[in-house]
Amino acid sequence: MDLALSDLLVEYELAARTNLTQAAFDYIAAGAGDELSLEESRAAWRRHRLRPRIFRGVVAPDLSTEILGTPLAMPLLVAPTAYQIVAHAEGEVETARGISAATGLMVVTTRATRVLEEIAVELRGPWWYQVYVLKDRRLTAELVRRAAALGARALMLTADTPYIGFKRRGHFAPVSFEQHLVNFSTHLTPGATFEDVTAGINQDVSISLETIAWLRDIAGLPVVVKGLLRADDAVACLDAGAAGVVVSNHGGRQLDRAIASAVALPEIVTAVEGRCPILVDGGIVSGADVFVALALGAAGAMVGRPILWGLAAAGAQGVQRVLDGYRDELDHAMGLAGVATIGDFGRDLLV
Ligand SMILES: Cc1cc2nc3c(=O)[nH]c(=O)nc-3n(C[C@H](O)[C@H](O)[C@H](O)COP(=O)(O)O)c2cc1C
């Protein structure tokens, strides 16, 4: 470890400010409304204190794990983030290079600005596909089948974004209509009007619990529901066929004043009773934050903006350094707390 991850992230965010247009920077940085959820997300992880174990003979912690049949070198996933072309000219392709170099796991967004096939080529390890169910259900089904055919190992159905949360800055991503359509155009009906296309690629506000099994059956892949903050919703998703859940308030970008994911996580862990893996994201900016998430019962954590700052500042190398930073800090904390493997995490590690 040559530098604290927090210092690296500050450096990268500053570089992103310089490298990006104001519109691009704001699109990434923004939270919804008064940005209260955004502000609180980091602080909620930092409130926890640890109870380290001694004499556990931990020589070299083993960070590897498996989630829904996907092997991971560490319990950290790269969260799906739309329109990565705003952060780097090569967009998701460059991100994929950095993730592969760090043996990480990418969740590729429906709103990618590079062609899925080009991204998949760069991903040397397993990857997952995030699903926005679009008003055009045929388009959604075709995209999901395409991702499955390209090797996606699981689907992540985003549930908290029936439409885009209002943001005072950066509400719209500075991308062209063509960039928006990069992955959709081959599926569109020839001669469709601009209005039809625009309406069809918006999110479907009417998605419901039934959407989970619909997607699972189309793709033959496990479906993880992303964007819930309540125990009753988590249990309902599992009963409806979900294979996992992601506790998330979308990085504070959807409903402002929604509770922090670190606050929501414990009640969901209790209610789920080990029936499925639980992932969590939002404001996770250090290995210690990941440690707290795992001690609270998460199977893994996801990170969004830190990866985009790395991408904007230093391309694939930046992405790799950010992921390496999380790995080094988690490794360090596990060693000092006497935690040998991911399976050894438990609530006893927290006050
Ligand atoms: C610029 C940006 C774009 C995002 N796009 C998506 C998306 O396309 N699909 C999705 O499910 N979540 C999206 N998210 C939410 C992330 O997946 C994740 O929940 C959030 O970024 C986690 O918080 P963090 O940025 O503090 O790590 C986006 C987040 C950001 C910052």
Say yes or no: CB of residue 327 within 6 Å of ligand 1.
no
pLDDT of residue 142: 98
Identity at 52, one-letter amino acid code: P
Phi and psi of 23, rounded to 5°?
-65, -40
pLDDT of residue 1: 60
pLDDT of residue 166: 96
Structural domain span for residue 304: 5-349
pLDDT of residue 194: 86
C-alpha 51 to ligand 1 mean position (Å) = 31
Q: Where are the alpha helices (DSSP H) in 47-176?
A: 91-101, 116-122, 137-149
Mean pLDDT by 10 residues, the chain (351 residues): 88 98 98 98 98 96 98 98 98 98 98 98 96 97 98 98 96 94 92 88 96 98 98 98 98 98 98 98 98 98 98 98 98 98 98 95
Q: How many domains does the chain have?
A: 1
pLDDT of residue 189: 87
Say yes or no: CB of residue 226 within 6 Å of ligand 1.
yes
Task: Output the CA angle 128-132-135, nearest 5 degrees.
Answer: 145
Gap between the Cα atoms of 297 and 284, Å rounded = 15
Phi and psi of 110, rounded to 5°?
-55, -30
pLDDT of residue 267: 98
Q: Token match 């930073």: residue?
A: 325
The dihedral of CA 265, 343, 53, 273: what is its sign? positive
The per-residue pLDDT for range 92-148, each reduced to its tens digit, is: 999 999 999 999 999 999 999 999 999 999 999 999 999 999 999 999 999 999 999
Say yes or no: CB of residue 84 within 6 Å of ligand 1.
no
Say yes or no: CB of residue 282 within 6 Å of ligand 1.
yes
- By alpha-carbon position, which residue is closest to atom 3 of ligand 1? 81
Ligand 1 nearest atom to the CA of residue 227, by list position:
19
- Which two three-digit tokens encode residue 309? 């700052």
User: Domain with 343 in it: what CATH number?
Assistant: 3.20.20.70
Q: How far is CA 253 from the centre of its chain?
A: 13
Task: Output the CA angle 4-5-8, nearest 5 degrees.
Answer: 95
Gap between the Cα atoms of 33 and 258, Å rounded = 11
Q: How far is CA 216 from the centre of its chain?
A: 19
